[in-house]
Amino acid sequence: MRTGKPLNADGAIELNPGDDFGLPLQRTRLWVDDRAALLVQSADPSKVQTGRMILDAIDKGKLTTVVSGANGNSMVIVKVKP
What residue ranges do the domains of the chain occupy?
5-79
| 6 pLDDT above the threshold of 50 | yes
Q: Give the per-residue pLDDT at 1.
A: 40
6 or 32, which is more confident: 32
pTM for this structure? 0.65
For the chain, the residue count is: 82
Mean pLDDT over 50-70 rounds to: 88
DSSP strand pairing (5-6 vs 66-70):
parallel
| 59 pLDDT above the threshold of 90 | yes
Cα separation, 32 vs 12, in Å, equals 21
33 or 21, which is more confident: 33
Task: Kindly tell me the burial class for residue 31, based on how many C-beta atoms sit within 10 Å of its own C-beta (0-12, 13-18, 19 or more).
Answer: middle
R_g of the chain computed on alpha carbons: 14
